[in-house]
Amino acid sequence: MSADARKTTVRRPRMTPERELELLVATLDVLREDGYEALTMDAVAAKARCSKATLYRQWQTKPEMIAAALYATRPVRVNEIDTGSLRGDLMLLVEQVAPRAQQDTALFTALGHAALSDPALVRALRESVIDPETANLTAFVDRAVARGELAARPAALAFLPQLLFSSLHTRPLFQNAVADYDYLVGFIDDVVMPVLLHT
């Protein structure tokens, strides 16, 4: 066998899911510590103790890597929630989201600012995070319609993701506090449910 032929038979070992998660966690660590603009493949590689080539084999761009990290480390699998009621689904959602409010508020605030000038970041976040989670929230409402809790899809469904996202990430600005569980329960009961029930 020639040297060239031998080279073509060499296969790098596939990255394990555990190692991939380590790289993605390192990505968010760098993002929290240094901010979006300062996040580079070099910085993530140093944090994760890997080569840049390893990162580029998995993710072609910084926005893709960040979006993948957010999706992989999300605190709740919204698609797995089905309590049998619309309010129950929303309450379980906020119960699982609330413990991460402190660290995630600063993270998403920084990303929101970066997104204003980085269309690639917006596109990556929409494709990997926003659109899938919007579909999951829509499923909450569609199940409620099928159960008879709602007569039809409410017009407010189009604003449900924005309502929930804003409740999580604007409380520090208005009240100098994170969106903890009690705050989010009140937001669901006093704002979200009345709006959705008003079809």
Last residue of a domain, one of 71, 98, 129: 71
Fill in the DSSP letter of residue 15: P
- Choose between 42 and 111: higher pLDDT: 42
Q: Which of 48, 71, 94 is the last residue of a domain?
A: 71
Digit-coded pLDDT (tens) for 125-168: 999 889 999 999 999 999 999 999 999 999 999 999 999 988 88
How far is residue 23's CA from residue 26's CA, in Å, rounded to a whole number? 5
pLDDT for position 8? 43
State the CATH number of the domain containing residue 54. 1.10.10.60
Q: Which residue has the tokens 């969106």?
A: 179
What pLDDT sits at residue 11?
A: 46
- The CA distance from 40 to 45, in Å, is 9
User: Does the pLDDT value for residue 49 go beyond 50?
Assistant: yes
> Is residue 96 located within the same domain as residue 192?
yes
What pLDDT does residue 10 have? Answer: 44
Please indicate whether residue 86 or residue 38 has the higher confidence score (pLDDT): 86
Q: Does 54 lie in the same domain as 116?
A: no
How many domains are there within the chain? 2
DSSP letters along 140-189, please? HHHHHHHHTSSSS--GGGGGHHHHHHHHHHSHHHHHSS---HHHHHHHII
Quick one: average pLDDT of 69-89? Answer: 91
- Mark whether 37 and 89 lie in a shared domain: no
CA-based end-to-end distance of the chain:
72
Clarify whether residues 95 and 65 are in a common domain.
Answer: no
The one-letter code for the residue type at 45 is A
User: Residue 25: CA atoms inside 13 Å, Cβ hemisphere, count?
Assistant: 10
Residue-wise pLDDT tens digits, 4-34: 544 444 445 577 999 999 999 999 999 988 8
* CB-neighbour burial class of residue 51 (10 A; exposed 0-12, middle 13-18, buried 19+): exposed
**Is-contact 135 167, C-beta < 8 A?**
no
Please give the average per-residue pLDDT across 94-109, as a whole number: 85
Indicate which CATH number applies to the domain containing 184.
1.10.357
In this structure, the answer to whether residues 124 and 152 fall within a common structural domain is yes
| Domain shared by 164 and 131, yes or no | yes
Q: Tens digits of per-residue pLDDT, 175-195? A: 999 999 999 999 999 999 999
Q: Which two tokens stand for residue 65?
A: 């890597």
Amino acid letter, 144: A
Whether residues 44 and 82 share a domain: the answer is no
Do 106 and 143 lie in one domain? The reply is: yes
Percent of the chain with pLDDT over 90: 65
Say how far apart CA 139 and CA 143 lie, in whole Å: 6
Per-residue confidence (pLDDT) for residue 106, from 0 to 100 = 76
Domain stop point among 43, 71, 99 = 71
Beta-carbon count within 10 A of 44 CB: 26
Instruction: Give the residue from 48, 64, 42, 199 showing the smallest Cα distance to 121.
Output: 64
Do 93 and 173 lie in a common domain?
Answer: yes
Is 104 found in the same domain as 59? no
Same domain for 88 and 55, yes or no, is no
Residue 105 is part of which domain span? Answer: 78-197
Are residues 82 and 26 located together in one domain of the fold?
no
Q: Whole-model pTM above 0.85?
A: no
